[in-house]
Amino acid sequence: MFLRVMNRICLSGFLSAILLIANSRECSAGNLFPVLSGYDFLKTTSGATYNGIPLHGIPINGVWGVDTVVQRVQDVNAAGGTTNLHMETLQLGSNTSVGGHFLFITIDPIQQLAWEVNHNHNLMTINATTFDATEFRAFFMVHLDNLGGQIVDRGNIDLSSVNNPWSNNAPPNAYLVNGVNHHLNGLNENSDFWPWPLPTDIGHTGPHPVQTAVLPEPSTLGLAAIGAIGLAFRWCRRRIAVV
């Protein structure tokens, strides 16, 4: 069954709060299971295009680097297990103007849902050290001038990829939100999932290459900000529904 976040402002609220940052650590030699359901915060790298037009990522609510959010819907209990993926958020913009307009790309929620309700679509297989994504598509809308502007085109891109490395341990300076992408078991990183080591791109065939989003330099949060993130997460959890 798919878990649906009914209020997308909810997830954006986590990101806009300037999230916790991971300490530097090395990728673990062996990955542990189960891998619990959660979210991946990703950054588009160079090479993304729309009809040959170069694109760049637009940070969600101004959070540095995070322009793509993907949800792993189910737990994976052993190597070789699968989970459905939900394309939660995508925000891209053209590097140059086209006919006097800049183009902006967002998820087409109706078409995305129609694709994802078939459980043979948007599948991720998590192996011992690598993961594969199959039948993984993002359905998008193209807007003029801003993210909410006039819709001038719709389409989809193939995000399928194979043989990507992953780790239970977060990369240095990653955004950490406990219960969302970090400490998914409530105790430690043993059930977490991180597509890295960097700078390896996830080889989407769209083309839409992405990496785990990290900050350029470490930073810290005050206790008040940490508390606000925790409250936001608990508030949002009450708005998750099963469909």
Domain of residue 104, residue span:
3-242
As for how many domains the chain has, the answer is 1
Residue of 151, 76, 162 whose CA lies nearest to 111:
151
Reading phi first (left if > 0) and then psi (alpha if -120 to 50, else beta), residue 99 is in: left
pLDDT tier, 133 (very low <50, low <70, confident <90, very high otherwise): very high
Beta bridge partners of 69: 41, 89
How far CA 24 is from CA of 161, 213, 220, in Å, comes to: 27, 14, 13
How far CA 6 is from CA of 114, 118, 228, in Å, comes to: 16, 19, 21
How far CA 9 is from CA of 6, 14, 60, 86, 93, in Å, comes to: 9, 9, 11, 16, 20
Per-residue pLDDT at 38: 98
Per-residue pLDDT at 218: 52
pLDDT tier, 201 (very low <50, low <70, confident <90, very high otherwise): low
Positive or negative CA dihedral for 81, 82, 83, 85? positive
pLDDT value at 3 more than 80? no
pLDDT value at 128 more than 50? yes
Q: What is the mean pLDDT of residues 32-36?
A: 98
pLDDT value at 60 more than 60? yes
pLDDT tier, 42 (very low <50, low <70, confident <90, very high otherwise): very high
Per residue in 72-101, pLDDT tens? 999 999 999 999 999 999 999 999 999 999
Per-residue pLDDT at 205: 53
Per-residue pLDDT at 204: 52
Q: How far apart are CA 87 and CA 113, in angstroms?
A: 9
More confident: 157 or 196? 157
Instruction: Give Cβ neighbours of residue 158 (< 8 Å, ≥ 6 apart).
Output: 136, 137, 204, 205, 206
Instruction: Give Cβ neighbours of residue 108 (< 8 Å, ≥ 6 apart).
Output: 139, 140, 141, 154
Chain centroid to CA 162: 17
Per-residue HEC secondary structure of 180-205 comes to CCECCCCCCCCCCCECCCCCCCECCC
Q: What is the mean pLDDT of residues 201-212?
A: 71
Helix, strand, coil percentages (3-state) for the chain, rounded to 5, are 15, 40, 50
More confident: 139 or 15? 139
Task: Give pTM, 2 decimals.
Answer: 0.78
Q: What is the mean pLDDT of residues 165-172?
A: 94
